[in-house]
């Protein structure tokens, strides 16, 4: 039983691997992005290296929207609802026509075809109906810091598009002469809006060459886009030292002033007469009362030595008889 299950899994793995190869080499969709206005007709094209079987009768179209599983939209052998969605076959080319397109029709469309017992998929075309821009939309390029490039041979750049209602087209240009699509990931926020993160990896020499790397985001069919530029900025090794140097002189002056104040305070406390002052010191009166045989002494603090520091005389007092 275990051997049978293992054999089935291995056969399934080979089947999926073969299907992946056929996906890459059999069907091709040469429209990565397609913009149309609301109520217009969207035409998504798919080409085949071999003529579609019986004019595309075995062909199907799937649509995948963000956060949803792929959904079957049209079987070309099915002639129902042709006023909304229709298959148009011309030799090796197959076109999906979506009439009176609405925002809800936006998504990634895949053409499929059956070949013997295999179902193959195209590489996908993103349809954007209307305008994906909202009041909360913004574009932010992210670039690596100069310190993070020390141990890496490549530089990873990302373009974040936040708060859109439908897919957008994201591309990169390097000094306006080279364009790359990059790899896009998406997620849905709690509010229901979409966030797209497009990532590219470039060689270190290209990133540090001083060229401008522009993230170009298109939201609708108007042709206008939002562009944000990222550029390598070399870090200065002397920057921390120069910043600290502004604080050296004030700190040194403050430390010297504090030391002077402490020194004067000590001199004032220990030898006040050396500064020319003779503070008045009152002597406590001697007690003549009997306190259980305890001797109370009259201490004289007025006598001073020749150097000006205070000296204490021998205690004088009475012995109170019990």
Average pLDDT over residues 74-85: 87
d(CA 261, CA 256): 9
Instruction: Answer whether residue 247 is part of any domain.
Output: yes
Identify the domain containing residue 245 by its residue range. Answer: 239-270
The pLDDT, as a whole number, for residue 21 is 37
Of the residues 230, 262, 279, which one is the last residue of a structural domain?
Answer: 230
Q: With a cut of 80, say whether residue 205 has pLDDT above it.
A: yes
Q: With a cut of 70, say whether residue 254 has pLDDT above it.
A: no
Instruction: Answer whether residue 219 is part of any domain.
Output: yes
Average pLDDT over residues 224-230: 93
> pLDDT-derived band of residue 7, with 50, 70 and 90 as boundaries?
low
More confident residue, 115 or 230: 230
Q: Are residues 196 and 173 in the same domain?
A: yes
Q: Are residues 215 and 153 in the same domain?
A: yes
The pLDDT, as a whole number, for residue 90 is 80
More confident residue, 182 or 247: 182
Q: With a cut of 50, say whether residue 318 has pLDDT above it.
A: no
pTM assigned to the model: 0.63
pLDDT in tens, 275-312: 444 444 444 444 444 444 444 444 444 444 444 444 44
Q: Are residues 205 and 253 in the same domain?
A: no
Instruction: Answer whether residue 9 is part of any domain.
Output: no
CB 53 within 8 A of CB 147: no
Of the residues 102, 129, 156, which one is the last residue of a structural domain?
Answer: 129
Q: With a cut of 50, say whether residue 245 has pLDDT above it.
A: no
Instruction: Answer whether residue 265 is part of any domain.
Output: yes
Q: Are residues 124 and 37 in the same domain?
A: yes
Most distant pair of Cα atoms in the chain: their distance: 139
For residue 198 the two structure tokens come to: 């497009």
Q: Are residues 36 and 93 in the same domain?
A: yes
Q: Are residues 158 and 191 in the same domain?
A: yes
- The alpha carbon dihedral of 74, 79, 80, 82 has a sign of positive
Q: Are residues 30 and 94 in the same domain?
A: yes
The pLDDT, as a whole number, for residue 6 is 46
Q: How many domains does the chain have?
A: 4
Q: Are residues 36 and 119 in the same domain?
A: yes
Instruction: Answer whether residue 14 is part of any domain.
Output: no
Burial 4-39 (b: 16+ CB within 10 A, else e): eeeeeeeeeeeeeeeeeebbeebbebeeebbbbeee
- How does the average pLDDT of the chain come out, rounded? 74
Instruction: Answer whether residue 175 is part of any domain.
Output: yes
pLDDT in tens, 210-219: 889 999 999 9
Q: Are residues 206 and 224 in the same domain?
A: yes
Q: Are residues 154 and 82 in the same domain?
A: no
More confident residue, 266 or 113: 113
Q: With a cut of 70, say whether residue 81 has pLDDT above it.
A: yes
3-state helix, strand, coil in the chain (%, to 5): 25, 35, 45
CB 210 within 8 A of CB 232: yes
Q: With a cut of 90, say whether residue 44 has pLDDT above it.
A: yes
Q: Are residues 189 and 208 in the same domain?
A: yes
Q: Are residues 165 and 119 in the same domain?
A: no
Among 60-69, 173-182, 261-270, the minimum mean pLDDT is found in 261-270
Instruction: Answer whether residue 291 is part of any domain.
Output: yes
Q: Measured between alpha carbons, how far is residue 99 from residues 76, 127, 217, 232, 290 in Å?
A: 16, 13, 26, 46, 120
Among 157-161, 198-202, 205-209, the minimum mean pLDDT is found in 205-209
Instruction: Answer whether residue 8 is part of any domain.
Output: no
Of the residues 129, 146, 175, which one is the last residue of a structural domain?
Answer: 129
Q: With a cut of 80, say whether residue 2 has pLDDT above it.
A: no
Domain CATH for 33: 2.60.40.10
């Amino acid at each position: 039983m275990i051997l049978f299950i293992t054999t089935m899994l291995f056969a399934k793995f080979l089947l999926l691997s073969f299907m992946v190869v056929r996906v890459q080499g059999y069907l091709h969709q040469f429209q990565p992005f397609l913009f149309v206005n609301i109520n217009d007709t969207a035409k998504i094209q798919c080409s085949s290296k071999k003529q579609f079987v019986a004019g595309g009768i075995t062909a199907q179209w799937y649509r995948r929207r963000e956060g949803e599983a792929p959904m079957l939209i049209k079987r070309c052998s099915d002639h129902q609802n042709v006023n909304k969605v229709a298959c148009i076959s011309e030799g090796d080319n197959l076109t999906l026509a979506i009439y009176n397109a609405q925002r809800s029709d936006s998504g990634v469309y895949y053409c499929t075809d059956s070949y013997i017992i295999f179902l193959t998929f195209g590489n996908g075309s993103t349809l954007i109906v209307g305008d994906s821009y909202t009041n909360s939309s913004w574009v932010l390029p992210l670039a690596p810091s100069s310190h993070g490039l020390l141990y890496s041979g490549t530089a990873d750049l990302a373009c974040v598009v936040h708060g859109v209602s439908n897919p957008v087209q994201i591309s990169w240009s390097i000094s306006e002469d080279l364009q790359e699509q990059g790899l896009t990931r998406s997620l849905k926020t709690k509010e229901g809006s979409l966030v797209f993160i497009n990532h590219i990896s470039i060689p270190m020499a290209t990133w540090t060459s001083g060229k401008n790397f522009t993230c170009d985001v298109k939201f609708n069919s108007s042709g206008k886009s939002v562009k944000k530029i990222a550029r390598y900025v070399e870090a200065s090794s002397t920057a921390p030292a120069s910043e600290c140097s502004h604080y050296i002189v004030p700190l040194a002056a403050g430390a010297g002033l504090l030391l002077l104040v402490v020194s004067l305070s000590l001199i004032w406390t220990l030898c006040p007469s050396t500064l020319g002052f003779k503070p008045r010191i009152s002597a406590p009166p001697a007690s003549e009362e009997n306190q259980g045989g305890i001797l109370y002494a009259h201490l004289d603090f007025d006598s001073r030595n020749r150097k000006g520091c205070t000296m204490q005389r021998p205690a004088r007092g009475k012995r109170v008889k019990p």
